[in-house]
A and B are shown apart, each in its own frame.
Chain A
């Protein structure tokens, strides 16, 4: 079983829509979680960290549910520029195990 699993999509949504991605992780001892964004043929870039209490950054909201071992990312009022692949990342115990999901591809349609 993969450490981090997410629906690969693609998610095709109209501009202005709200879209949510979920991600599950297998290691209950994972300490920290992140969402990265990766544009086509570019490197991943940190979008936001995921805090236990949930956190918001503009149109983006991240949630963590430790009991069910999943993380979510909600994007409100989708923009064309939100089209990208979103990678879910979990940091397990130990120093080297930063686990990446395979990514969920989002396309926002005019």
Chain B
């Protein structure tokens, strides 16, 4: 089974801190994605990547950046955490562009910014 692992299940950070959320997949998938999920708003795409060192903005990239130095790892960075970034963050991966049937999520990181 494909595994997408997010490093932390719960995180509490202070306003202004730099926050790193890590995601690792073990099935050599080309595509990786970061979403946030909020009540009433559903899943919203923050950033995605189709290849190492490649990144594309999603629908809500403001306040975030990403890093993909290795194929299996996709990191989400909150440069200066704010309270409106309190949310559930979900990482996902899929084999390649267009292979949506293999789309797999990590178990999520619930981030609270105080």
User: What residues of chain A have their CB less than 8 Å away from a CB belonging to chain B?
Assistant: 8, 32, 34, 41-46, 49, 87, 91, 95-96, 98, 100-103
Q: How far is the CA of A91 from the CA of B110 in the complex (A)?
A: 26
Q: How many residues of B contact A (CB 8 A)?
A: 21
Instruction: List B88-114 residues whose CB lies under 8 Å from chain A.
Output: 90, 97-98, 100-101, 103, 105-108, 110
Counted as pairs of residues, one from A and one from B, with CB atoms less than 8 Å apart, the total is 40
Instruction: List B42-91 residues whose CB lies under 8 Å from chain A.
Output: 42-43, 45, 48, 50, 56, 58, 90
15 contacting pairs across A/B (C-beta < 8 A) = A32-B100, A42-B107, A42-B108, A43-B90, A43-B105, A43-B107, A44-B105, A46-B101, A87-B42, A87-B43, A95-B50, A98-B45, A100-B43, A101-B42, A102-B40
Q: How far is the CA of A44 from the CA of B48 in the complex (A)?
A: 18
Q: How far is the CA of A85 from the CA of B101 in the complex (A)?
A: 20
Q: How far is the CA of A101 from the CA of B98 in the complex (A)?
A: 20
Partner of B101, one of A43, A49, A100: A49
